[in-house]
Amino acid sequence: MPNTTLILLIILLPLAGFVMLGIYGRKFFRNTSGVIATSLLLLSTALAFYTAYGYFFKYGKTGGVYQKLVPLKYTWLQFSPGLSIDMGIIIDPISVMMLVVVTFVSLMVHVFSLGYMKGDERFPTYYAFLGLFTFSMLGLVVSSNIFQIYFFWELVGVSSFLLIGYHYDKPSAVAACKKAFIVTRFADVGFLIGILVLSYSSGTLDFNTLIATLTSPQTNEYKNAIAASFLGISALTWGLVLVFIGAAGKSAMFPLHIWLPDAMEGPTPVSALIHAATMVVAGVFLVARLFPVFAIVVPSALNLVAYVGAFSALFAAVIACTQTDIKRVLAYSTMSQIGYMMFALGVSKYGGENGLGYTASMFHLFTHAMFKALLFLGAGAVIHFVHSNEMKDMGGLRKLMPITHLTFLIGCLAIAGVPPFAGFFSKEEILLAAYQHNQSIYWIALIISALTAFYMFRLYFQIFWNKEHHPHGEHHGEGGLSMMMPLVLLAIGAAVAGFIPFGHFVSSDGTRLDTGFHLQFSIAPVALCLAGIFIAMRLYKKQNAMPQKLAASLKGFYKAAYHKFYIDEVYHFITKKIIFNLIGRPAAWFDKYIVDGLVNATGNGTEDFSATIKKFQSGKVQSYAIYFLAGAIGLALLFIYIWK
């Protein structure tokens, strides 16, 4: 059986780091805070690997099926016998996989930051925030209760807000963190309503019970949830769609993706942590957590997931081809890859061979965490070297930063899907799943994989080749060991993670799924991806006029993509022009003149009235006595003559 204490320790060690560094960091641990946080997380990571080993190889299986174990469940708020908010731990293949991914990537980021953030004014605070973020993410993945996941979901939102806005003296960072927080909060409202709908229809908040109730057609809850409808769509579908809106907000799916590129204002290791490996996959994780309900009961909601995912993936890939800020390219590439994971879930069915998409999605999540963290950290190393995010300031860095160059190349090959790197295997499975269940999405996915290869190698050639001469000429060399070691470790991960027989461990129903390697099938994607790399090489390996010409020939389209298809402007228009003018201003007017007016009128009336009657208090005792006597006589007359 799983060791509850150890699993609790995995989650609580980062929290301990947060509390310690948050309270005492600036006083006592100015220089040692990085080492403290990193060693705590190292312990946490080791425990996570140990737990994963134990679960996958020792006690996880019963009769060939991986079980959902709940080693800890503490009832916290009980509303009725079935309905309670619990704090618990659920141990199943995806949560164990996520524990490993989150702790490992977070550890790499911690180590990398030792070099990257060295000498920063608020070094302890930075590590405290990293600890909080890691804690919330770990808490999220092991949540056994849908309300518990919501708590940690919000905690993730808060800590990402803190990390994105880390450079709080930079107005753009402040704007970006507010944007990230508001957009994800907006989506979380959907999630909350979704939780209420689901828990109302199933009568429980516990994941295992909820899934069991809603997927068995005999139960009354199931019948009621299907029968109850709003606008012609059943309550259950509404619930799932609303939950998906929350997931889409966190995972930056169209049209709630606008916060992700701006969130690159945070320190680069933070981008690696939040936007590569952990926070943005929370949405995918949530859909995967509720996958049986999606897949068995409401395939229409799952279709929505598939199409939103596919569209976001394509949309982001096109934008990524035109951006010039390297972190933004990576941000859009993240969005595109998350889209991959989403539609892989979307095309999947529940159980057995049909659950390939589920496995593929989780597999891609796993490999993506490796290579995207690698790419972000590599980009961080480059930015650390040239002190700029813009591609035009880079070029010809391959000789100056050989290790970064090599690891970045591995990352690019992995994300482009070149065999035998990790991305190839997971993408292959996703494409296969799409091919089996939804042909139109398969064709979109093929186009995206070519685009992915193109924009990643555009980035690669622009940074490391292109101009031979480095304009800055400052040769302080690559970062120290703390910055190179994570790159190397992640590069190893990105190179070999694909060989893990993932289907043996993670599948939609816990059974063993053999994912074969299909030679004929992989010809098309690999050929397309090589074509993408080749075009990028022709355009960007040497400095030439071709990219400008190409951009000029695609004039309107290029411009639209460069401006991110004006989505920000659309939001701006909707919020500023429509919501402000049509709702905000009348509401402000109403508040100012009606609500405030009523309050002021009450005050003014009281004031006038008291000004009138205050003359009675003259201090002349005898006039008081006259009033009193007059009153007494008046009452006497009243009782004697009128009331009798």
Q: Which residue from 532, 539, 331, 359 is spatially nearest to 432, judged by alpha carbons?
A: 359
Q: Which of 523, 582, 583, 629 binds other proteins (CB under 8 A)?
A: 629
Euclidean distance between CA atoms 592 and 442, whole angstroms? 55
Minimum Å distance from CB 621 to other proteins? 6
Residue 514 gets the label, from left (phi > 0), alpha (psi -120 to 50) or beta, of beta
Residue 608 gets the label, from left (phi > 0), alpha (psi -120 to 50) or beta, of alpha
Asked if 553 interacts with other proteins (CB under 8 A), we say no
Q: Which of 620, 641, 643, 644 binds other proteins (CB under 8 A)?
A: 620
Give the Å distances, CA to CA, from 547 to 43, 240, 314, 322: 48, 44, 21, 10
Write phi, then psi, for 86 (nearest 5 degrees): -110, 155
Candidates 382-390, 508-516, 544-552, 617-625: pick the segment binding other proteins (CB under 8 A): 617-625
Asked if 619 interacts with other proteins (CB under 8 A), we say yes
Minimum Å distance from CB 619 to other proteins? 3
Q: Which is nearer to other proteins, 523 or 632 (CB)?
A: 632
Candidates 254-262, 445-453, 622-630, 634-642: pick the segment binding other proteins (CB under 8 A): 622-630
Q: Which is nearer to other proteins, 553 or 617 (CB)?
A: 617
Minimum Å distance from CB 596 to other proteins? 33
C-alpha dihedral, 540 to 546 to 548 to 550, nearest 10°: -110
Q: Which of 172, 604, 606, 618 binds other proteins (CB under 8 A)?
A: 618
Give the Å distances, CA to CA, from 22 to 19, 129, 166, 181, 426: 5, 8, 14, 21, 39
Residues 400-439 that bind other proteins (CB under 8 A): none
Q: Which is nearer to other proteins, 229 or 618 (CB)?
A: 618
Candidates 264-272, 348-356, 440-448, 612-620: pick the segment binding other proteins (CB under 8 A): 612-620
Residue 231 gets the label, from left (phi > 0), alpha (psi -120 to 50) or beta, of left
Candidates 85-93, 98-106, 465-473, 621-629: pick the segment binding other proteins (CB under 8 A): 621-629
Strand 84-91 relative to strand 69-78, pairing: antiparallel
Give the Å distances, CA to CA, from 236 to 135, 145, 200, 212: 31, 18, 10, 14
Minimum Å distance from CB 609 to other proteins? 19
Asked if 621 interacts with other proteins (CB under 8 A), we say yes
Minimum Å distance from CB 643 to other proteins? 22
Structure tokens given for 340: 């991959």
C-alpha dihedral, 617 to 618 to 619 to 620, nearest 10°: -120
Asked if 189 interacts with other proteins (CB under 8 A), we say no
Minimum Å distance from CB 634 to other proteins? 15
Q: Which is nearer to other proteins, 588 or 629 (CB)?
A: 629
Structure tokens given for 121: 């004014």
Interface with other proteins: number of residues (CB under 8 A): 9
Q: Which is nearer to other proteins, 545 or 621 (CB)?
A: 621
Q: Which is nearer to other proteins, 599 or 625 (CB)?
A: 625
Euclidean distance between CA atoms 88 and 488, whole angstroms? 36
Minimum Å distance from CB 629 to other proteins? 7
Asked if 625 interacts with other proteins (CB under 8 A), we say yes
Euclidean distance between CA atoms 178 and 170, whole angstroms? 13
Asked if 634 interacts with other proteins (CB under 8 A), we say no
Name 395's Cβ contacts closer than 8 Å, sequence gap at least 6: 462, 463, 464, 465, 466, 467, 468, 469, 470, 543
Minimum Å distance from CB 640 to other proteins? 15
Asked if 622 interacts with other proteins (CB under 8 A), we say yes
Asked if 617 interacts with other proteins (CB under 8 A), we say yes
Q: Are 170 and 265 in contact, with CB atoms under 8 Å apart?
A: yes
Minimum Å distance from CB 603 to other proteins? 23
Q: Which residues pair with 259 in a beta bridge?
A: none
Q: Which is nearer to other proteins, 231 or 611 (CB)?
A: 611
Structure tokens given for 637: 């007359």
Minimum Å distance from CB 626 to other proteins? 7
Candidates 157-165, 332-340, 422-430, 615-623: pick the segment binding other proteins (CB under 8 A): 615-623
Minimum Å distance from CB 641 to other proteins? 18
Q: Which is nearer to other proteins, 476 or 620 (CB)?
A: 620
Where do contacts with other proteins occur on this chain (CB under 8 A)? 617-622, 625-626, 629
